A and B are shown apart, each in its own frame.
Chain A
Amino acid sequence: MDVRFSREGNTLVVMIEGEIDHHTASKVRERIDSKFLMEPVKNMILDLSGVTFMDSAGIGLIIGRKSRVSLVGGRLSLRNPNPDIRKLLRVSRMEELIELDA
């Protein structure tokens, strides 16, 4: 599991690589939240192109980051979710709540 960051204006881009499950989610969450606090940004993009597996722990991670970003009036969006992740979002009824970054 690896998390890398870059900035696009006032947006923090988070590149997640590897598998997101209950075991890995807490570390990913801590890394993202501390980076978001340190950077002068408002919005967040979670780039999921490097995610090879995700279960509902990933949904929790996404929803949690959306809440955190909303606290500062920002927006969260997902970039490059694969078909398996899209299916999970649909099943979890989160597809309409989460913005996709085209």
Chain B
Amino acid sequence: MQPINRMKTEFLSKSANESFARVVAAAFAAQADPSIEVLADIRTAVSEAVTNAIIHGYGDEEGIVVLSCDLYPDYIEITVEDFGKGIEDVEKARTPLYTTRPDLERTGMGFTVMETFMDSLEVESEVGKGTKVRMTKWLKSR
């Protein structure tokens, strides 16, 4: 099925862009007139995905994060992609409370929050190449 609308943006892996990314994604989703709660869920999930790309994908390096949104009649698909370190063990990374950065007071809840706040979550990653997180959210009550 072809999306009825689509957007794609890329930005540097700077933490200041976390708010930019979540606001852009929510603003794009808003054209489908979802509930405020759905928009809040999208904001939170995008913030988690982009933060992961910045902290874990690139760490101290600087790189590009790509955010794309595909709008379908009833749902939105959001993809956050980085071209950084990649994740060695995706299943382990998705385990609640698992974190490699406790020094930053990271809780290891990023993927759990994405999974819970969105309706689906897929993570593709290759060490040395990067990580792609694809999430969908129903915009209308079913």
Instruction: State A59–B116 Cα separation when bound (angstroms).
Output: 15
Contacts of B48 in A (CB 8 A): 55-56
A51: CB under 8 A from chain B? no
B109: CB under 8 A from chain A? yes
Which applies to chain A's interface (DSSP): helix, strand, loop or mixed?
helix
* A19 interface neighbour in B19, B40, B51, Cβ under 8 Å: B19
Instruction: State A59–B44 Cα separation when bound (angstroms).
Output: 12
Residue of A nearest to B113 (CB): A56
Instruction: State A19–B43 Cα separation when bound (angstroms).
Output: 12
B107: CB under 8 A from chain A? yes
* A93 interface neighbour in B40, B51, B96, B105, Cβ under 8 Å: B96
A88: CB under 8 A from chain B? yes
B112 touches A53 (CB 8 A): no
Give the shortest distance, in Å, between A81 (CB) and chain B (any CB).
14
Q: What is the size category of the interface that chain A forms with chain B?
A: 20 to 34
Instruction: State A56–B56 Cα separation when bound (angstroms).
Output: 15
B105 touches A23 (CB 8 A): no
- CB within 8 Å of A: which B18-61 residues: 18-19, 22, 40, 43-44, 47-48, 51, 54-55
Give the shortest distance, in Å, between B140 (CB) and chain A (any CB).
20
The number of residue pairs between A and B whose CB atoms lie closer than 8 Å in the complex comes to: 62
Count of residues in B whose CB is under 8 Å from the partner chain: 24
Q: A22-B51, A64-B105 are in contact. Are A92 and B113 (CB under 8 A)?
A: yes
A25: CB under 8 A from chain B? yes
* A22 interface neighbour in B43, B44, B54, B116, Cβ under 8 Å: B54
Contacts of B113 in A (CB 8 A): 55-56, 88, 91-92
A29: CB under 8 A from chain B? yes
Contacts of B105 in A (CB 8 A): 25, 29, 57, 60-61, 63-64
Instruction: State A97–B104 Cα separation when bound (angstroms).
Output: 20
B86: CB under 8 A from chain A? no
Q: List 10 A-B contacts (CB under 8 A).
A: A22-B54, A23-B15, A53-B47, A55-B47, A55-B48, A56-B48, A56-B106, A56-B113, A63-B105, A63-B107
Task: Beyond the given A23-B15, A92-B113, please list 9 additional residue pairs across the A-B interface where CB-CB is below 8 A.
Answer: A22-B55, A22-B104, A23-B18, A55-B47, A56-B48, A57-B105, A59-B109, A60-B106, A61-B105
